[in-house]
Chains A and B, each alone.
Chain A
């Protein structure tokens, strides 16, 4: 089945630790996105990537980093510089980032908690 997988489902971070969230898609989509969801805040864009080896900052990129070495993978690292990382993180992909009406398909999410 085609889709987007995110792992782990739950992730715990200690103070000062970097953690990496995985996002994989087998939809052959060019574009991938990371959103952060906080209660009552909706979703906010962290980073997006239109193509392999290229990515752009979204609205709340500070304290996060990404890579796009393969078309199907777009991992997100939450660094120690992110002072309030507790949130639900959603990865999405779309066929072509240059076509704004293209549907974004979402993964099941990773919930990050700080110990």
Chain B
């Protein structure tokens, strides 16, 4: 079965600094990978997704992610964070080989922005 690991439960970054959130997956087929963001008490919003092609994916709000098959990783990056980026970030993997089994999520990384 597929699984997603987000090694960092909490990350604290100063406003204006760069950010990298880690995501590793375990998968037996071509992965479909997603990053979502969740503000407190809210639903999830898609930041970006990868399913084929260019391994560097651009998303909304200035985020990007790079798929590295050799490392089984899909890390999320942002060159300069803003206080409004404070939120919970989830990496997710789509169902193997098609189908409709829903997404498998990591446990999330809580991002704290220091002034």
Contact = CB atoms under 8 A, between A and B. Distances in A.
Interface of A: 4, 6, 31, 33, 35, 40-45, 48, 50, 56, 58, 90, 92, 97-101, 103-109, 111
8 contacts: A42-B4, A42-B108, A43-B92, A43-B103, A48-B102, A97-B100, A100-B51, A106-B36
B73 to A, nearest CB: 17
B107 A100 contact: no
A58 B104 CA distance: 11
Contacts of A42: 4, 90, 105-108
Contacts of B45: 106
Interface size class of B (residues with CB under 8 A): 20 to 34
A33 B102 contact: yes
Contacts of B102: 33, 35, 45, 48, 58, 104
